[in-house]
Structure 1
Amino acid sequence: MHSTALTVFFSMLFNLAQATIVKGRITNEQQIPLPYATIFIKGTTTGTTSNAAGQYQLDIPAGTYTLVCQYMGYRKLEKQVIITNTEQTLDFALQPVSMQIKEVVVKSGGEDPAYAIIRAAIKKRNFYRHQVNEYTCNDYIKGMFKLRDVPEKFFGKKLDKKDMGVDSSGQGVVFLSESMTRVDFQEPDNVKVEVLSARQSGGGFGFSFPAFIDLYDNNVTAVITQFNKRGYISPIAENALLYYKYQLEGTFQDDGKTVNKIKVMPRRKFEPLFSGYIFITDDDWRIHSADLLLTQDYQLEIMDTLRIRQIHVPVNNEVWRTKDQVITMSIKQFGFDMVGNFVNVYSNYDLHPNFQKKHFDNTIMRYDTAFDKKLLAYWDSIRPVPLEKEEVKDFRVKDSTAQAERDSARSSRTLDTLRKHQHPVKFTDFFWSGAKHNYYFQRDTGIYSHQLSMKGLIKQLGYNTVEGLVLNVEPELKLNLSRSQELKIMPYIRYGFSNTHLNAWTYLQWTQESRIHNRIGQNTWILGGGKRVSQFNHDNPISPLENEFYTLFLKENYMKLYENYFTTLQFTRRFENNSFLRLGVRYEDRMPLENTTDFVFFKNSNKQFLPNHPYELADIPFTRNQALVAELGFSFQPGQKFIELPDRKIAFGSKYPIFGVTYTKGIHGIAGSDADFDKWQFQIKDNMNLKLFGEFMYRVKLGGFLNDKHVDIPDYQHFNGNQTFYNINYLNSFQLAPYYRYSTTAPFYATANVEHHFNGLLTNKIPLLNRLKWNLVAGSNAFYVNQNNNYVEVFAGLENIFKLLRVDVIAGYQSKDATRIGVRVGFGGLFGGMVRQQNTPEP
């Protein structure tokens, strides 16, 4: 350790009890505040950062120190200070650096001297990327978002500005948090974060994960991958010269080092690139600081702008690390105007921590048991960045309001208020929007509620050729039980006006949080029974709405149904590591159904409705039968990482695929069951982010029947076909295949669904598509049973259309039919990718 650092270290150790605050204001010569300037004790990384108003404060033990103030584009200023037990004020007025243009020999072709500097920095990039094998440091993180404007309505619904935490003009802080963490790192990619303290205004965990933005990486992740899954190309990446132009703005001296200010300019729009400035030191060619900007012209999503500012300082004579990092962002979408920032102040670097052998495990983030119990005096003593006036007010007001709500949560007055101000149920709600009523009650730990709800009757109307017009009545009672338990009672009443069949059944779902060997998981029990209507394929490959459209408008009845009296019992255990165990048994007394109506909106004598029996399986009879079926399934993802809270762990994800295995048994003879079969299935699936090269997704299944002595159509292996224009069940369907043509009881089958999302890799070079940010997606779906029963389709399409839609063109090669070409529309892209298939398998 450097001698100066040792002196400071021992001074701080022996004078800890006499720490005194030094505070002040950092401005330029015109007294204009310099936000987020860096202040630190010379010879150490102990320091702070000024806030947006240029104010700083620093807790320093008694002694004599030299404080260094540094701001990008200004000359570094040092001041000596003698610390006693009296609070001191020390202001800094910084002067702009005196930029000088180097005398250089201009090469033929007029190459700017910045290119030679960048080439030298690129050669040293990998060395600095791996220079430090391991280290620890402290990181103070402050995050804040505030709204500057809010629309009066959003999607036709009037917004309550008070509930949003803003004033009548639509302005106010909507998120504010701060935390102090300890970061442990070890090559190549081991990270562990210890959250020592954290708070969020109004309560909550806040944001405590350090935003590591390493410009020595070839591919830079800017905060989170959702802003751009491809990442961004660093200005000193191995191939950076292909993407950037550079210009040397000048040089200046800093502690005897020559620092080059280089302007970074993207060569082309619509590539994932930065613009701005990077400062590189002469001779050792390391990053001194950076001020870089991302915009929507360079594949930034969601936000309009994101600016990254970093200051690097020496930890010792050889190593520099990031001292301060400020990320500012702005968003203007749908009438909302929001700005925010995240300030990271790194300090107390230790480059020789000597970690124990098993220090790095599957826990990447751990919250101290008292992380949220710190008093205001604690925060005032450790906070390196002074809060701004609006932040002080936001913490005070929202924390006081939250405390008052907690204090009153047990009062009868609060209970009466909740009951009184509940939105009244209108008669019209039962027909369209749905009705909901909460029943509030009190326990020792606070106020809770049961909820009774029902979906709107008009929205629950359906139509099919078997039942005709269908009325579904779906109430639900949700009971909040003690000890993290919930009971749902879900009755269903269904009446078909054409076949005059009344079906009624009920599910009871009990969910309980439980511990096994001090590991928290969730148990879910489902008990159901009654008389219902089911699709032959229990994966429900076509939704009622799709079927209604095709039936009424196009005279094509794809949904195939049967009736059944049933009883089911299912148990699911979600383990702490996100593994799932599923056990279930189901008994069905199955009855065939026939078409009873041929009503359509548009008459078409050239078309006839198909029978309700799957026409592809016309040679396989379906008569009344009974089936007792048991199922055992397990899925897991090895290598899970965890966030550890004081009372539980939360699975964070893994770089490995998800594996699953299922065994299904048709039990013969019990309760008259005709079923007699054994079926197995193994699957593996994964999403692989290849950064600049896009995202690759796949799902592979293997399975078959070990025994098929008696298998009725509902128990066949069905492949999820799709004969409509709409598809959303990607990676689990075949976009042009008929629904039941390839159903089988073969001893072996294999399926593969793969798709690659280019995320702008190719379309960013195509005019108009690059401006619209419509991205290419391509892939293939296939299954194989035998030489006479196989199918493969290839597709290519565009996604992120209006951030929501996806359109594919597919060619399907079918062993039992001619080649087909088709188009499918679904959801895909920034927001569309969040939409999931709603047609879930029946319990």
Structure 2
Amino acid sequence: MRLYILAILLCCQFNVIAQKVTGTIFTAQGDLLPYSSITIKGTTKGTSANEKAKYAMTVAPGTYTFVCQHLGYAAVEKKITVTGDVELSFVLSDVKLNLETVVIRNDREDPAYEIIRNAIKKRNYFSKQVNQFTCNIYGKDLIKLNALPKRILGRKVPDEDRKDMGLDSSGKGIIYLAENISKVSIQQPDKLKLEVISSRVSGSDGFGFSFPSFISLYNNNVKVFTERLNPRGFVSPIADGAIGFYKFKFLGTFFENGKSISSIRVTPRRLYEPLFSGIINIIDDEWSIHSFDLMLTKTAQLEIMDTLQITQLHVAIDNDIRRVKNQLLHFNVRQLGIDVTGNFLTVYSDYNINPKFPKKYFDNVVIKYDTGVNKKSKAYWDTVRAVPLEQEEMLDYQKKDSILKVTKDSSMSKRYIDSVNKSQRKIKPLDIFTAGIGRYRYNKKGSINWRIEPLVQNAEYNPAEGVVVQLKGAISKNLYNSRSSVALFPVIRYGFSNTHLNAYASLVYNIRTQDSARKLKRYAIAVSGGKRVSEFNKQGVIPPLNNSISTLFYGKNYMKTYENTFGAVTFSKRYESGVRLAVSGLYENRIPLNNTTNFTFYKKDSIKITPNYPVEQLSSQFQQHQAAIIAVSFSFKPGQRYIQFPNYKASIGSKYPTFTLNYSKGINKVFGSDVDFDKWSFNIQDDKNLKLAGLLKYKIGVGGFLNNKQVFFQDYQHFNGNRTAGASAYVNSYQLASYYANSTNANVYAIGHLEHHFNGLFTNKIPFFRKLNWNLVAGSNAFYVNKNNHYVEVFGGIENILKVFRVDVVVGYDQKNNTSSGIRIGAGGLLGASFNRGANNNIDIGF
């Protein structure tokens, strides 16, 4: 009974100190005015109306002046005394712009230019006006499908998928709905920490995006969402050189709280430049931003999205200090019959411009999630939500959350597990050749997956083995409790001409843990062995498909291989600091592999077939020998930043380059080993986004042999060449160089790779190219061993062709004064760049 009475008293107390103010915002014509801003005068507390123009605020009893604002409308103030729940609606009239309040400097220039010049002069001041501050953030992200065709690229969209997404029969519905409550702390010049207090995703127990897009026109270059939208960023209308990019038109002034505010239309001077269009409002004499409504489209080099509208309203938080109060990002995507719209609404409140941060508060954790971030109740959200839910959103939460609960409650039941295991599609006989086959099996202790890759994908042809068939598979098991996994990768290879059967396998154990200080550590142990076919250059720079085509059609068998019976052990570890360490041991019994066929599609090309060893340097096949090698690789990327989730950390990169040191030693007379060498290399590699100037990628390095007493050709330093029309890995190879002619065991060598993606810097001025959004790329690759062994090439090309392809013209020059040229076709652009990601591996153990 005592607890019961206490509960009643607490409820009564809550009713006394927390009252709800609700209302709707209308125009003078009676239309709804969505996403208006409502604040309490004299504070930074406030909210935003939703898409239906409704708002709600929770306040303590008292007398308040509520201020309602919306871009293009005159602000309205209402003073009320709150003693209980109250409804307070607003009617906003169109702002009356006065064209006579600004003196025209001369008859030829629009007065907007003088206002913008003053704003540009004060841009840096307002950017650094507040040394540090904190504020609370409420965010609501909504993505809706307005249309989904029955087929996409010829493939039918199953009804089950539509149902899982919560769509109706016409393909409409909410596909993503999330809210979050966060606190952001910022300290000049570049310190930021976002603490996510609570997060809710409809139909999911995940964390959502939970990272508001901090958009500031006080920066010369404005980043929106992600660099994938436009790696060059967008030029602010008040950037230092804005007048060279934009046309400005003075629309008039209006008054708010006794301040004169100029409204200016912003228009790009040229299409296909990363520029905004729309309205920006500047406070006269202060020259700070009052608000803006700006748009980005495809003609602003916007990628992925078709349109993106950005609306911000700034309010005074202390004298002449103004900060963002509300921000709305509205986007639309129309591709392949799919129509998607989205609204990302952010409300900023409770600014504190004099916070006291503890020592070492700003560390390498940029975003930190509370341990109970996704465990808050519906009652909690109804209390803290800054923007009321619309009926459609409430129904989406109810429907998807109930489905999630049923799924979670039954996820460990035998019936549910059996249902999931039986839901896999049937295996068809031809799948083993074209699509591959696989199965997963769930149980309470984890999951087991197995897969066999398609035979056609791994088939190849070479003169040593003839037609080659490979059976590659994988069997993996995830161990939920220990956050670890174990996987087996078997390979069986058969050559029909030499009738050799080779088989080997790798067993890999991965584990991810955190120590007592919650520092992330990742370990991996791999054990492999068997008999295999390897290239002389272990990096495998010649794709088997390319070699098969060049051999069959032109008689050019570039790939050179040998057989080896081997055993290897590798231990690798990743530290939270950005350090990666790998230690390996390898033993190989290396066996020559000679040609057994010279078949080509055209008989005249069969005489071009060369022996199966690097003929550029070897006059005959090597002798069988053994090699025992240990290798250590140390890689470090300083300044790593992280997202701290409740149970783990995830890296979000660093602004510094990656430094990599590799060392390998050939050990003589161990298990009959014939090798004796010490080999090293040191590389620096990075991608630097130069904003409007484009993206610069580079890799430079030095290396050599400290000891080369007994070095077989497999252990030489090989420079990754390429002799086919298909481009080799960018920033890690030489597009026209020979595969083995320059391989060396010299004491010292140096390499350099430089590539610049202009990202529309020049092509946006060429009518045909700018409409297609094709971009220029250029660079150079070089290595130097000595005066008798060096090479340099330069290249230039076009990328983002169909968002995937890239074509380069390359000219090379070697130590013999030979000049070569060629065309290379590869992947590059918005989607193609993803194919190249990971091609340059920082950890190179040489095995």
User: For the superposition of Structure 1 and Structure 2, which TM-score range results when normalised by the shorter chain?
Assistant: over 0.9
2:488 is matched with 489
1:189 counterpart = 2:187: no
- Secondary structure of 1:403 counterpart: helix
Alpha carbons 1:16, 1:61 under 8 Å: kept: no
2:10 is matched with none
1:379 counterpart = 2:377: no
Partner AA of 1:539 in structure 2: Q
1:4 is matched with none
2:108 is matched with 110
Partner AA of 2:221 in structure 1: N
1:206 is matched with 208
Structure 1 residues 709 and 788, CA gap change in structure 2 (3 angstroms): same
2:805 is matched with 805
Q: Could you give the per-residue CA deviations for residues 781-823 of structure 1, whole angstroms, max 9, x where no partner exists?
A: 0111111111111111111111111111111111146110111
- Secondary structure of 1:742 counterpart: coil
Displacement after TM superposition at 1:520 (Å):
2.8
2:321 to 319, 322, 341: 319
> Which stretch shows the higher mean deviation, 503-512 or 686-695?
503-512
- Secondary structure of 1:768 counterpart: helix
CA distance in 2, matches of 1:515, 1:122: 48
2:138 is matched with 140
Alpha carbons 1:277, 1:292 under 8 Å: kept: yes
1:7 is matched with none
1:450 to 448, 451, 455: 448
1:724 is matched with 724
Partner AA of 1:836 in structure 2: N
2:306 is matched with 304
CA distance in 2, matches of 1:124, 1:515: 47
For 1:565-644, what aligned pairs fall within 5 Å after superposition?
Answer: 565-604=565-604, 608-619=608-619, 622-644=622-644
1:277 to 272, 276, 279: 279
CA distance in 1, matches of 2:439, 2:644: 36
- Secondary structure of 2:546 counterpart: helix
Alpha carbons 2:592, 2:621 under 8 Å: kept: no
Alpha carbons 1:506, 1:530 under 8 Å: kept: yes
Q: Could you give the per-residue CA deviations for residues 309-342 of structure 1, whole angstroms, max 9, x where no partner exists?
A: 0001110112111100101000011221100011
> Which stretch shows the higher mean deviation, 832-841 or 146-155?
832-841
CA distance in 1, matches of 2:107, 2:835: 53
Structure 1 residues 207 and 156, CA gap change in structure 2 (3 angstroms): same
- Secondary structure of 1:122 counterpart: helix
Alpha carbons 1:729, 1:837 under 8 Å: kept: no
CA distance in 1, matches of 2:580, 2:154: 40
For 1:212-251, what aligned pairs fall within 5 Å after superposition?
Answer: 212-251=214-253
CA distance in 1, matches of 2:606, 2:596: 20
1:55 counterpart = 2:54: yes
1:265 counterpart = 2:263: no
Alpha carbons 2:555, 2:606 under 8 Å: kept: no
Displacement after TM superposition at 1:774 (Å):
0.9
CA distance in 2, matches of 1:104, 1:659: 57
1:471 counterpart = 2:472: no
Displacement after TM superposition at 1:574 (Å):
2.0
Alpha carbons 1:309, 1:326 under 8 Å: kept: yes
Q: Could you give the per-residue CA deviations for residues 351-391 of structure 1, whole angstroms, max 9, x where no partner exists?
A: 11132342212111111122112111111111111111111
- Secondary structure of 2:540 counterpart: coil
> Which stretch shows the higher mean deviation, 501-510 or 150-159?
150-159
> Which stretch shows the higher mean deviation, 313-322 or 103-112?
103-112
Displacement after TM superposition at 1:621 (Å):
5.3
Alpha carbons 2:806, 2:827 under 8 Å: kept: yes
- Secondary structure of 1:661 counterpart: strand
Give TM-score, length-normalised by structure 2. 0.95
2:120 is matched with 122
CA distance in 1, matches of 2:618, 2:441: 52
Partner AA of 1:484 in structure 2: R
Displacement after TM superposition at 1:505 (Å):
1.0
**Identity %, equivalent residues:** 47
CA distance in 2, matches of 1:791, 1:16: 80
For 1:546-561, what aligned pairs fall within 5 Å after superposition?
Answer: 546-561=546-561
1:98 is matched with 96
1:498 is matched with 497
> Which stretch shows the higher mean deviation, 210-219 or 303-312?
210-219
Matched positions, count: 825
CA distance in 2, matches of 1:838, 1:15: 55
2:26 is matched with 27
Displacement after TM superposition at 1:838 (Å):
8.4
Displacement after TM superposition at 1:231 (Å):
0.9
Partner AA of 1:238 in structure 2: D
Displacement after TM superposition at 1:735 (Å):
0.6
Q: Could you give the per-residue CA deviations for residues 485-526 of structure 1, whole angstroms, max 9, x where no partner exists?
A: 222122211111111111111111111223445433221111
2:404 is matched with 402
Give TM-score, length-normalised by structure 1. 0.95
Structure 1 residues not aligned, in runs of 5+: 1-13
Partner AA of 1:55 in structure 2: K
> Which stretch shows the higher mean deviation, 27-36 or 293-302?
27-36
2:151 to 130, 150, 153: 153
Alpha carbons 1:122, 1:237 under 8 Å: kept: yes
Partner AA of 2:647 in structure 1: D
1:3 is matched with none
Q: Could you give the per-residue CA deviations for residues 285-315 of structure 1, whole angstroms, max 9, x where no partner exists?
A: 1111000000000111110000000001110
Alpha carbons 1:454, 1:476 under 8 Å: kept: yes
Alpha carbons 1:725, 1:823 under 8 Å: kept: yes
Alpha carbons 1:794, 1:811 under 8 Å: kept: yes
Alpha carbons 1:728, 1:827 under 8 Å: kept: no
2:676 is matched with 676
What's the C-alpha RMSD, in Å, of the aligned pairs?
1.7
1:646 counterpart = 2:646: yes
Alpha carbons 1:15, 1:61 under 8 Å: kept: no
Structure 1 residues 419 and 359, CA gap change in structure 2 (3 angstroms): closer
Alpha carbons 1:779, 1:796 under 8 Å: kept: yes
Q: Could you give the per-residue CA deviations for residues 644-667 of structure 1, whole angstroms, max 9, x where no partner exists?
A: 122222222111111111110101
Alpha carbons 2:506, 2:529 under 8 Å: kept: yes
CA distance in 2, matches of 1:115, 1:835: 45
1:771 counterpart = 2:776: no
- Secondary structure of 1:794 counterpart: strand
Alpha carbons 1:728, 1:836 under 8 Å: kept: no
Moved over 6 A (4+): 837-842
Partner AA of 1:94 in structure 2: L
CA distance in 1, matches of 2:168, 2:115: 51
Alpha carbons 1:425, 1:437 under 8 Å: kept: no
1:665 counterpart = 2:665: yes
Displacement after TM superposition at 1:104 (Å):
5.4
CA distance in 1, matches of 2:352, 2:146: 41
Partner AA of 1:507 in structure 2: S
> Which stretch shows the higher mean deviation, 457-466 or 74-83?
457-466
Structure 1 residues 527 and 816, CA gap change in structure 2 (3 angstroms): farther
Structure 1 residues 236 and 366, CA gap change in structure 2 (3 angstroms): same
Displacement after TM superposition at 1:17 (Å):
5.5
- Secondary structure of 2:430 counterpart: helix
Partner AA of 1:356 in structure 2: P
2:350 is matched with 348
> Which stretch shows the higher mean deviation, 723-732 or 830-839?
830-839
Partner AA of 1:110 in structure 2: R
Alpha carbons 1:178, 1:207 under 8 Å: kept: no
Displacement after TM superposition at 1:591 (Å):
0.8
Displacement after TM superposition at 1:221 (Å):
0.9
Q: Could you give the per-residue CA deviations for residues 756-795 of structure 1, whole angstroms, max 9, x where no partner exists?
A: 1111111111221111111111111011111111111111
Structure 1 residues 605 and 515, CA gap change in structure 2 (3 angstroms): closer
Displacement after TM superposition at 1:837 (Å):
7.2
Alpha carbons 1:728, 1:837 under 8 Å: kept: no
Q: Could you give the per-residue CA deviations for residues 518-538 of structure 1, whole angstroms, max 9, x where no partner exists?
A: 433221111111111000000
Structure 1 residues 658 and 16, CA gap change in structure 2 (3 angstroms): farther
Alpha carbons 2:260, 2:283 under 8 Å: kept: yes
Displacement after TM superposition at 1:156 (Å):
3.2
Q: Could you give the per-residue CA deviations for residues 602-627 of structure 1, whole angstroms, max 9, x where no partner exists?
A: 33359511111111112475110100
- Secondary structure of 2:616 counterpart: helix
